[in-house]
Amino acid sequence: MPIPAGVGTHLQLFAFGFQKNSPYLGLFNYYLKKMDEKGATHKILASYKVPDQQCPDYKGKALGFNSCITAFIVIFCGLFVALAMFAAEQVTRCMNISMPTYDTLIPKTAQPHLATHMAAEIDELKRDKEEIQKRIEDLQNKLDSISEYH
């Protein structure tokens, strides 16, 4: 049940909540009407009004849709790609299509060559590891010898 805010054009902009059958409703409406007659409500509304643009070159002007449409296009393209990938995953899952693996992506003739290359890299990394461990031992020995003198 709406509570009448009073009579007058400006008073309809204000709404105040009261308890049902409040004894203060008449008194409140009376003073609201007095405020409207004296122009106090207009002053209150004017004090909260947003001032007009002061910059002559309109640098502070709000962005419109046309000035940021590129961002929306990028977002919707990304959304479209994501939905397409999701649909492709669901279709492949429903059709029991297996995803490509190492064996299917690389031809059988190239696999032995890759294995040899990978083994050579592993050997090189092992040599590097041994050199690093030797260097750590040397530094540890130097540190121990320094700490003996102090």
How far is it, in rounded angstroms, from Cα 135 to Cα 140?
Answer: 9
pTM (2 d.p.): 0.30
Residue 122 has pLDDT above 80, yes or no: yes
Range among 73-82, 89-98, 139-148 with highest mean pLDDT value: 73-82
Q: What is the pLDDT of residue 87?
A: 92
Q: Domain residue spans in the chain?
A: 10-47, 103-149
Closest by Cα among 38, 19, 44 to 30: 38
Least confident range of 28-32, 62-66, 127-131: 62-66
Residue 83 has pLDDT above 90, yes or no: yes
